[in-house]
Amino acid sequence: MNKFYITTPIYYVNSYPHLGSAYTTVAADVLARFHRMRGEEVFFLTGTDEHGSKVAEAAAQKKTEPQKLCDQVTAKYEEVWDTLKISYNYFIRTTDSQHAQTVRYFLNSLKEKGLIYKGQYQGLYCLGCERYYTEKELVDGQCPFHKKKPISFSEECYFFKLSAFQEKLLKLIRSQKLIIEPQERRNELLSFLERNQLEDLAVSRANVKWGIPLPWDSQQTAYVWIDALLNYLSGLGWQGDSQKISDFWPPDVQLLGKDILRFHLVIWPALLLALDIPLPRRLYVHGFFTINGQKMGKSLGNALDPEKMAEVFGVDALRWLMLSSFPFGQDGDISQSKFYDQYQAQLANGLGNLFRRVLTLAAKSDQDFTPPQKEEKKIIKILQQTWKIYEKSLDDLKFEAAIESVRKVIAEADRYVDQNKPWELLKKDFSRYQEVIYHLLEILRHLGWLIRPFMPDKSDLIFKGLNLELAEKKKSLIQGKKWGGTIFSPTPLEEILFPRL
């Protein structure tokens, strides 16, 4: 069975999840469900990033212990992910002892290879990002993401010879052996690597106590980003044998937001190259949810609460709306009122209305609907094309394009109803009425499959309305996306697919 390993970044526990944090996770979940639907064995990893000065400071502000804060915020993440139906296979916490063991092993191996040395670091440090900035990278002397002035810092610490990997990285990216998407992010990184000399990376901190102590120097803790990146290995249970990691290694897709691009596209592959570990197959950098053009986040106080949004729209609809608004690789402005308009147009008046209409029309007959002699070639062709576009779009992480292809099917079905007027056929031409309703029921069955990775419960409800709940779930996708062959005896439902808000 084909294996598919997908990861999200692990989330900082200095604040609660917001809709921007949920963006990466919902996207990863849709992909995980899509690959499971295809019959692949999926390992979907997410979790929380719990060490470092940012978390220690947040705990101090709240007059609590860092571990307590981690437990509390991680519990919230798990709760929100459950609400959003995130079907992760493992939730990694960097305060797990097994993770610490992986980090210690990894750092020791780097040291044994002569890739770690002791030095003095002086620089401008942004607490928000947990990283040093060069003067050039600042905007008006401030961190471009947190809009705060970094603090000046000097400390003794251990360095990783990151600079030794510059040429290798360039070669791998140029030859497409390391796939970075979308294209503009790949180009951005290439031009950065072509124009700048990589500096070695400080991988430990003497003054940060809330972290994993270095195996050879307990006065220093691992730099939180090294600690965090290694979750992608420890999350698979890796204990340090670089020959045998897991059947799931390497990751098929790693998702990340553009604010953490350098860590994932430079430091992460360099760390793996250092220990001869195969690189991820694909790193995908997505854009931000913005509110009036500003990145949504806790620090700017403009964050939307995913649980509240789920109460308003319902979880399935929220998942759909989050991915339908704009292309995944770009930034996009969102708001509750934009979601409201999309909900009405795409879901309540679109799919929901079609579903109700077809089931009501089908209920006018007490006979089963069997595959008719005459098939509408045009409809069959549209569905075949839709499946092609839909699968290709999801393979390319073009969620909005996959959604668009589904919306076209809904529009086509609406047109088919209006053209054929089955309520008139019922009186005039019963066998044509049966033919038309059969096609509509079969389109609904396909829609049940098409929306499944995005809206798993609404997909169940469609199958339930078609009286095929068990039958469809037993099928493989290959069987499910075939046209015809089903005998329908639908049951009108009490539930409304997408209630008006």
325 binds ligand ME8 (CB under 6 A): no
118-126, 194-202, 291-299, 428-436 -> range binding ligand ME8 (CB under 6 A)? 291-299
CA distances from 258 to 29, 284, 330 (A): 19, 9, 10
Least CB distance to ligand ME8 at residue 231 (A): 6
- Phi first, then psi, for residue 284 (nearest 5°) are -115, 125
56 binds ligand ME8 (CB under 6 A): no
Among 110, 173, 198, 229, binds ligand ME8 (CB under 6 A): 229
Least CB distance to ligand ME8 at residue 338 (A): 15
- Site for ligand ME8 (CB under 6 A): how many residues? 21
Residue whose C-beta lies closest to ligand ME8: 257
334 binds ligand ME8 (CB under 6 A): no
Looking at the Cβ atoms of 11 and 488, the one nearer to ligand ME8 is 11
322 binds ligand ME8 (CB under 6 A): no
Interatomic CA distance for residues 329 and 182, integer angstroms: 6
305 binds ligand ME8 (CB under 6 A): no
Query: Which residue type is seen at 208?
Result: V
CA 60, 65, 70, 72 dihedral sign is: negative
27-35, 178-186, 228-236, 402-410 -> range binding ligand ME8 (CB under 6 A)? 228-236
Least CB distance to ligand ME8 at residue 128 (A): 9
**What would the x/- binding string for ligand ME8 be over residues 250 to 279, using CB under 6 A?**
------xx-xx-------------------
Q: Per-residue DSSP letters for 214-277?
A: PSS-TTSEE-HHHHHHTHHHHTTT--S-SS---TTPSPSEEEEEGGGHHIIIIIHHHHHHHTTP
Among 9, 314, 350, 456, binds ligand ME8 (CB under 6 A): 9
Q: Which helix (H) or strand (E) holds 420?
A: helix 399-420
The distance in angstroms from the start CA to the end CA of the chain is 43
Pick from 33, 40, 31: nearest CA to 8: 31
**What would the x/- binding string for ligand ME8 be over residues 12 to 31, using CB under 6 A?**
x-------xx-xx-------
Least CB distance to ligand ME8 at residue 229 (A): 5
Q: How many CB atoms lie within 10 A of CB 79?
A: 13
* Sheet strands side by side (includes 332-333): 294-295, 289-291, 332-333
Looking at the Cβ atoms of 70 and 260, the one nearer to ligand ME8 is 260
What residues contact 71, with CB distance under 8 A and at least 6 apart? none
Contact 267, 199 (CB under 8 A): no
**Interface with ligand ME8 by CB under 6 A: which residues?**
9-12, 20-21, 23-24, 49, 228-229, 231, 256-257, 259-260, 288-289, 295-297
